[in-house]
Amino acid sequence: MASGWMVGRRDGVVSSHAAAERDCGRVPALVAEQARRTPGATAVDDPGRTVTYAELAGRAAGVAARLRDAGAGAETVVGVFLPRGSNLVAAELGVLWAGAAYLPLEPGSPSGRLAHICKDAGVGLVVTTREFANRLPTALYVIDLERVSGGTGTPESVRADQLAYVMYTSGSTGLPKGVMVEHGALGNFTSWYRHEFGLGPADRVAMLNAPGFDVSVADVWPALTSGARVVAADEETRLSPRRLRDWLAGEEVTVALLATPLAEAVLGLPWPSGARLRYLVAAGEALRARPAPGVPFTLVNGYGPTEATVLATWSIVEADGEGAPDIGGPVAGASAHILDERLRRVPPGEPGELYIGGVGVARGYLGQPERTAERFVADPFGGARLYRTGDVVRRRPDGSLDFLGRADEQVKIRGHRVEPGEVEMAVRRHPSIAAAHVVAHRGTTLAAYVVPREGAAAPSLPELRAFLADDLPDYMLPGACVPLPSLPLTPNGKVDAKALPDPDSAAAPVAGVAPETATERALAGLWCELLELPEVGVLDNFFDLGGHSLLMHVMQDRIATSLGVRTRVVELFEHPTVRALAHHLDHPDEPAGTGAGAGRGTGAGEDAGAGPGEGPDAGEGSGAGARRRDGLARLGRRRRAASGVDAPAPSEASEASEASEMRER
């Protein structure tokens, strides 16, 4: 059982020893103090770039000065539109330094989603660079980080109840919702993480998670408030389990937090005995794996919704345990209550809904008071508020918690929390669809059941994904599309989920062309094994079948092992069908876009997810340049893995150079 928490003797609530109100300091002030103590120590290590604590503080002070000049201050939400790395850290710290709150905006997000989030959050200021500025909505004041001079001075004084950051998560109403986290909650989590894992100046903490994924908070602030070094990996490394393992060992990383699917993949690999990694934290969805005996690090199972500030409970996972690992007990400053529908405590061993209390509970949802009141409720046991997680758990005799599933329809797809209702609303906007219902499918993707409008045909899966790609990120794009004459209903008028046909058997195969060559047969076998399918056609698209970027890196390793061929991940993305990839492997000297099926998706004659004329062979005339850029953006979004990847699309740097001058004032 993890240390630092206990079970109350009379009421059975699982509480941290430090569940009382705590004040752990403010992150910007703590980082500034660290910069004064160790100005020459390395703060952030980018591929090819190193930034000291003094340089980071100077850049943050410069950003803060620009933000103050533009009117930013307490409760102002400032967008930060940058990928992982030292620029992102400097920008977010600069926003906190100014006393404002930062909102991470994913560089790989669809333009429609970006526009909605900026409008919903009331964002008027965005910190970014020239490379990314042209993708933002036009009515924003943009500060070019690369043109900000270093500054001096101390951070603005902030209160514990002042807004620190906003993170957007999937919303059941059809639109994402912004979770507001205050400085007291951020300081509490940062302090707990720093002390529990013993972070200090000798530590090297991995920066691996996308900015809009709330666990990215753990990558940065605990390290920088303890004098440790933040080390960022490149995209090719962090998406491949084998390369990531080698990088973690080679960079002498001591603490790393990974999205659960990636953590499980890394756990299954042999580890060098000399690795300095002390703690590997898995978070994002239910952990099913245990460490092999003799691994050189401690595996931690972290549980926590965004509304509870990154992690709410944790446990150390032993190699010799039985069954799925438990989620342990609360972090410092938190409490966990297992309650029934009337907010009464349930007996030990009985399932109930998990409610989180304590310092880490978020303020609520930005601009959504009714939704906030529904999920953030008064604590009937004397505390301030409880967050209703929607997760069903039970308490073991030792007080640790078993995660059993969801009480509502919310699901986890590749580490991301997804409300099927949001995807359903987007699907219903398709002009050919009259009704739709979206459910989780195979645990790794979504299935959309669609009823076409009278006189219209249901869209194919590639057509539906292409339609949705401008508004939804990769992990929310359905992996199956099942047309139905009508949705089955229960007697009270709700969709009868039990009567829906199995997507694998009901969806007509997009392409059932059998493999012909030895390479096609070998690749088809690897795809079946990896995607857990009985068969695949050589024109079926990897992503339409439920594949994603993390699986693509696993495929890269398996091709090397089975066929003895080393490939680059970009080659696999450029050839997303068995036929295209087999031809490429058999004829490596042919340029991309030539040969049988090259660059084609699902046999439709177009790149999967692209509209007519948007495939890799599209020219630059008659608007094709814009279509090509849209296709590159979609391809870039596909490259994001289960952990919530912020990978830019291929050649986006060159595309950005053609853009107009950025809109800086």
Question: HEC profile for 337-403?
Answer: EEECCCCCECCCCCCEEEEEEECCCCCEECCCHHHHHHHEEECCCCCCEEEEEEEEEEECCCCCEEE
To 5 degrees, how large is the angle CA 17–CA 403–CA 14? 20
pLDDT tens digits, 343-398: 999 999 999 999 999 999 999 999 999 999 999 999 998 878 999 999 999 999 98
Q: Token digits for 649?
A: 């699309």
Give the Cα separation of 291 and 486 in Å (integer): 47
DSSP 62-86: HHHHHHHHTT--TT-EEEE---SSH
Q: What is the pLDDT of residue 491?
A: 60
Q: pLDDT class for 402, splitting at 50, 70, 90?
A: very high
- The values of phi and psi at residue 629, to 5°, are -65, -40
227: DSSP letter? T
Q: Residue 105 and residue 603: Cα distance in Å, rounded? A: 35
Tokens 């680059």 — which residue?
568
Q: How many CB atoms lie within 10 A of CB 168?
A: 25
Tell me the C-alpha to C-alpha distance, in Å, between residue 387 and each of 19, 46, 71, 214, 355.
15, 37, 33, 17, 5
**If we measure between CA atoms, which residue out of 551, 426, 445 comes closest to residue 110?**
426
Give the max Cα distance, the chain: 74
| Mean pLDDT for all residues in the chain | 82
DSSP code at position 306: G
In the chain, pLDDT over 90 holds for what percent of residues? 50
Site of tokens 């900015």:
211
Q: What is the pLDDT of residues 602-632, one digit of tens each?
A: 333 222 233 322 222 223 233 333 333 333 3
The neighbouring-strand residues paired with 657 are: none
Per residue in 180-200, pLDDT (tens digit) is: 999 999 999 999 999 999 999
Using left for φ > 0, alpha for ψ between -120 and 50, and beta otherwise, residue 436 falls in beta
C-alpha angle with apex 295: 292 to 201, nearest 5 degrees? 145
- pLDDT at residue 173 above 90? no
Given a cut of 50, whether residue 255 has pLDDT beyond it is yes
Give every CB contact of residue 195 below 8 A, 6+ residues apart in sequence.
332
More confident residue, 513 or 444: 513
Token couple for 572: 């696999």
Distance CA 335, CA 17 (A): 9
* Lowest-pLDDT choice from 117-121, 229-233, 492-496: 492-496
Q: ∠ CA(402), CA(404), CA(406), 5° rounding?
A: 135
Report how far residue 660's alpha carbon sits from residue 55's, in angstroms, rounded to the nearest whole number.
30
CA atoms within 13 A of residue 89's CA, in its CB half-sphere: 31
Instruction: State the Cα–Cα distance between residues 217 and 190, nearest whole angstrom.
Output: 8
Helices 183-196, 216-224: crossing angle, 10 deg rounding: 70
- The answer to whether residues 597 and 539 touch, using CB atoms and an 8 Å cutoff, is yes
Burial 555-574 (b: 16+ CB within 10 A, else e): bbbbbeeebeeebebebbbb
Instruction: Dump pLDDT digits (tens) for 285-338.
Output: 888 889 988 899 999 999 999 999 999 999 999 998 877 899 999 999 999 999
Confidence band (pLDDT; 50, 70, 90) for 120? very high
Q: What is the pLDDT of residue 529?
A: 87
| pLDDT tens by residue, 524-545 | 999 888 887 778 888 888 877 7
What is the token pair recorded at 407? 């009480």
* pLDDT at site 416: 77
pLDDT (0 to 100) of residue 321:
81
Strand pairing class (352-358; 364-365): unpaired
**Of 298, 334, 340, 305, whose CA–CA distance to 319 is shortest?**
298
Decide if 608 contacts 573 (C-beta within 8 A): no
**pLDDT band at 16; cut points 50, 70, 90:** low
Strand, helix or coil at 166?
strand
Give the Cβ contact number of residue 476 at 10 Å.
25
Q: Which residue has the higher pLDDT, 337 or 20?
A: 337
Q: Residue 548 has what pLDDT?
A: 75
For 163, residues 6+ apart whose C-beta sits below 8 A from its C-beta are: 74, 75, 77, 101, 180, 181, 182, 183, 363
Could you tell me which residue, 432 or 588, shows the higher pLDDT? 432
Give the pLDDT confidence score for residue 23 in this predicted structure. 66
The angle formed by the CA atoms of residues 23, 29 and 30, to the nearest 5 degrees, is 75
Cβ–Cβ under 8 Å, residues 314 and 4: no
CA 602 to chain centre: 27
Q: Poorest-confidence range of 132-146, 252-266, 274-288, 580-594?
A: 580-594
High-pLDDT (> 70) share of the chain, %: 82
Gap between the Cα atoms of 400 and 403, Å rounded = 10
**SS3 of residue 60 by DSSP:** helix
Three-class SS state of 194: helix
